[in-house]
Every structure is written in C-alpha cells, then in structure tokens.
Chain A
Amino acid sequence: NAGVTQTPKFQVLKTGQSMTLQCAQDMNHEYMSWYRQDPGMGLRLIHYSVGAGITDQGEVPNGYNVSRSTTEDFPLRLLSAAPSQTSVYFCASGLSRGGGTDTQYFGPGTRLTVL
C-alpha cells in the first residue's frame, strides 16, 4: 500500500491564482480530511468527507473547496490564492466515519507559498 499520497510536494503561487492540491489513499478509507499547519498553531481542519459525495466544513474552510467523487481521491481547491494561505497542507484518511478511536493516517504534506 502507498498509504496517503499528496501532490505536489512544493508549490509557489501568485496572489489570485487558483490551484488544486491532490490527495489519494489506497486503504479504502471512508473518512478523509484536509488540515493546514501554521507555526505555533498546530493543525487546523479545513474540510472533511465521510464518504464519496459527502463533504463538510471544518474549522477554517474559507477560500477552499473540496469534492469527493471517489473513495480514493479528495482534492483541495484554492479558488483565489492569498498570502494568508501560505502554509503546509496535510491530507489524512481514516477507516470509518465514526469512532473516535480510529487511527488517522497522514500524507507527507504540501508546502504552499503564496506571493
């Protein structure tokens, strides 16, 4: 198993540009999520999905869109990039939509800089 994969690893954007961060998992996990990591703030949940066709907002959803057309993929779209979106983005997946005891598996991250 490749686990959770993310592309690209690094990206530089100009303010106002749009782009999509890719996330895929091959563990047949129902639950997938996106986090951003900023210095001194831990990880904050952006959006999550509990299955194909079902998504919902997390703590910091503004400026981001998601969709879940398949179990495997959960892309994150930046609609119009802003310098405040400079961050490291992590995708995670978990076995089931319920059960707080489930382990979540994290991808290696995408480091995004917006100029």
Chain B
Amino acid sequence: AQSVTQLDSHVSVSEGTPVLLRCNYSSSYSPSLFWYVQHPNKGLQLLLKYTSAATLVKGINGFEAEFKKSETSFHLTKPSAHMSDAAEYFCVVSRPTGFQKLVFGTGTRLLVSP
C-alpha cells in the first residue's frame, strides 16, 4: 500500500524568501514521486517528478525536490518565492512500474505576501 502525508495544510511566506513544502511517503515499492500545482480554479500541472534517477529533481518555475529514502521524504523547495507561486501543491506517489495509480496527499496551500 502507498500513502503520502503532507505535513502542513498551509504555509505562509513573504515574497523573496525561501519556500519549503514538506512531504513524507510510505510505499511497499521503490516509488515514483511527483509534485503537482493547482492555481485557483485551474486544473493540476506537473511541477516535477522523481523516477529513481537523480535524487535531486529540478522542476519548472525554479522549484526542486530531493528524494531521501532514509527519511522517506520528498520535500519541495524554492530559493525565492514569487507572488505567482501562491497556489495549492500536491505531493503524489505512484508505483514505479505496472499500472500507474496515483495516490495524492491532502495538499498544502502556499500563501505569498508582498
């Protein structure tokens, strides 16, 4: 069985400061992990994905995440927040092979203040 825990339901930062969104996973397999972003009243967009290659994954818009097997974590970071980063972020786990059934975390809402 697979599951994802997003440790914060809301994160507030000031523009220009670092962003850290935390995600822990549980998986019987060596997982594939994803971060998706959802802007208000929009669909979900893939930010980045980990697929057992490099443990540090770079995504779009300056985001990156590091896979740490020993900590079962896949935290999302960005060095400097922008107002346009305000959105909801979902950490997602999937089996690495076979049928891909995504398991979503409950989401973290990122608030960015001027």
Chain A residues proximal to chain B, CB less than 8 Å: 4, 31, 35, 40-45, 48, 50, 58, 90, 92, 94, 97-104, 106-109
Contact = CB atoms under 8 A, between A and B. Distances in A.
Contact of A90 (B43, B96, B106): B43
Contacts of A90: 43-44
Given A43-B90, A106-B44, A100 B104 contact: no
Given A42-B106, A42-B107, A100 B100 contact: yes
B106 A101 contact: no
A99 B51 CA distance: 10
A35 B45 CA distance: 15
A45 B95 CA distance: 15
Contacts of A107: 43
Interface of B: 9, 31-32, 36, 42-46, 49, 51, 90, 94-102, 104-107
A106 B43 contact: yes
Which of B32, B43, B94, B104 has the most chain A CB atoms inside 10 A of its CB? B43
Contacts of A98: 97-100
A101 B51 contact: yes
Given A42-B90, A107-B43, A101 B102 contact: no
21 contacts: A31-B100, A40-B107, A41-B106, A42-B106, A42-B107, A43-B102, A45-B102, A48-B101, A92-B44, A97-B100, A98-B97, A100-B51, A100-B94, A100-B95, A100-B96, A101-B49, A101-B51, A101-B96, A103-B49, A106-B43, A109-B43
A101 B92 CA distance: 12
A104 B105 contact: no
Contacts of B97: 98-100
Nearest to A3: B43
A42 B104 contact: yes
B104 to A, nearest CB: 4
Nearest to A108: B43
Contacts of B43: 4, 90, 106-109
Contacts of A41: 106
